[in-house]
Every structure is written in structure tokens, then in C-alpha cells.
Amino acid sequence: MADHPVIQVRALDNRFGSHIVHEKLDLDLYPREILGVVGGSGTGKSVLLRSIVGLNPPSGGHITVFGEDLTELSATERSRYEQRFGVLFQGGALFTSLNLEQNIALPLIEHARLSRAEAEELARMKLALTGLPPEAATKYPAELSGGMVKRAALARALALDPEILFLDEPTAGLDPIGAAAFDELIVTLRNALGLTVFLVTHDLDTLYTTCDRVAVLSQRRVLVADTLEKVAQTDDRWIQDYFHGPRGRAAITAHNRLTKQEPG
């Protein structure tokens, strides 16, 4: 790829006691790409995400974001960069005692120092951006479907106009139709806002419909990061089981049908 990476992870180590999760892990994230991060359970996908966004200080290595090594910055300096990140965690994590508009207004009041009225107006715009109807603004998370909560949590991740969006299993728990609609939303937002997206997922349909490249975590590092077609051909047991097992074959067939290609 011609562009310079917006994030470069080099020789990243992560250990919890004697448990080594990452060892000399390298990864690049390029501008405006949607990178899918996959791997078996416990391979450290979430830990990698948390290391990049500053929630899990790495045991070793370097993480360069927009040309600046975050591992060498003070906490205050790092938080300036971290404001350029939007993060959607597993489960959405909205405040249950606040309605959607108040949930999304919160980071705008705290970090962008807007008045409550301004923040709530902007919050309503962010909710519309993620496809929620205007009446959702005054609803509480408990009153909404799982798909609507995910959209609201995405609206909150987008509140401060981030350049890089981190999504941790965004379609987990959604029904297939809701998941497909959410995948489409991510691509639409990337195209409209020029976002770069780091997307941890187990969902093969998401990989086929949204991702430009796929990174596979295995054996404490990124085993391969490339287009889906190339990754699926990699000679590795987990990759072969994942992409060419029954679910993988179903996802390829569905994708080929959608793109009107002959099944491969």
C-alpha cells in the first residue's frame, strides 16, 4: 500500500504474570482501510486493541500513531492523541441512567467543552448519522433493541469526530439482519467520513462484506495480514479450519451470491 500507516505496532510484548499474550507482534494500519482482526479465543485481539488505545500499557515494544510513539509520551501528551480515537467496546457500555442524547452529549461536554444545549444538538446529529430515528434521542438504553444500542454506542464513539475507529466485536449478539445492516453502516461511515477502522470480529460475514484486509493473530503475533483471499490461502491449521470450515464456506457462498460472482 502506498500510504504511510497511521498506526505502526512494532515488537509489541504483552504479558500478564507468566502468561505471554503477545511477543514481538508487528502490525500496520493504513489510512481509510477497514482492517479485520481475527484469531482464536484468547489470542489477544482485545488486548491488542486496548494496548493501542492506551488502556493496557504494553510490556514492551512500540506503538506509533500519526508518526508519534505513544509508548514514549507522558499520559497528558498521549491523551491528545487518544482523542483522535473512537472506541466501541463489546457490550456498547452506555450509561443506563442517561437517555441516548445525554449519553452522546457527555463526551462533548467533557472534552469539547460545549454547553449542554450545543452538545445535545450535536448528539442528535450523531444519532442520525448512525441511522437512528429522531425519537430515539430521548429513549433510555433499556428501552431499545440490541441493534439500536449498538448504533447509539457507535454514535458515542463518533462524538468527538475521531480519525480512527476501534470496534470490538460490533456485531456480537445481533441477529443476522441487524448484523448485516451494522456492517453496511460501518462501510458507509468509513466512506463518508474517511475513517480508518480497526475491527475485532469473529463474524465471517463481516470480514467478507466490510474488510479491506484481515490480520490473523496466532502464536502470540500477527501471523498474516493481507487481503481476505490471500489470508484464506495461508497454510495454517486455524486459518484453514476458520475460512474453509462449514461457516467459512457459507460466508463465501453468501458473499459470492451478493457480488454475483461464480462460487469459488
Ligand X SMILES: Nc1ncnc2c1ncn2[C@@H]1O[C@H](COP(=O)(O)OP(=O)(O)OP(=O)(O)O)[C@@H](O)[C@H]1O
Binding residues for ligand X (CB under 6 A)? 16, 21, 39, 41-47
Enclosing H/E stretch for 38 = strand 34-39
CB 43 within 8 A of CB 222: no
Query: 251: Cβ–Cβ under 8 A, 6 or more apart, which residues?
Result: 204, 205, 207, 208
**CB nearer to ligand X: pick between 37 and 94:** 37
Q: What angle do CA 10, 42, 33 make, to 5 degrees?
A: 50
- Between 38 and 132, CB nearer to ligand X: 38
What does the alpha-carbon distance between residue 211 and residue 143 come to, in Å, rounded to a whole number?
Answer: 32
Query: Is the Cβ of residue 13 or residue 121 nearer to ligand X in the bound state?
Result: 13
The pair phi, psi for residue 42, each rounded to 5°, is 85, 10
The minimum distance between CB 195 and ligand X, in angstroms, equals: 22
Rounded CA separation 167/244 (Å): 25
How far, rounded to the nearest angstrom, does the alpha carbon of residue 36 sit from its chain's CA centroid?
8
Which of 168, 183 has the CB closer to ligand X?
A: 168
State in angstroms the smallest separation of the CB of 56 from ligand X.
Answer: 7
Return the number of the residue (36 or 107) whose C-beta is nearest ligand X.
36
**Beta carbon of residue 48, minimum distance to ligand X (angstroms, whole number):** 7
State the distance between the two ends of the chain, measured CA to CA, in whole angstroms: 26
Least distance (Å) from ligand X to the CB of residue 16? 3
Q: How far is the CB of 46 from ligand X (least distance, A)?
A: 3
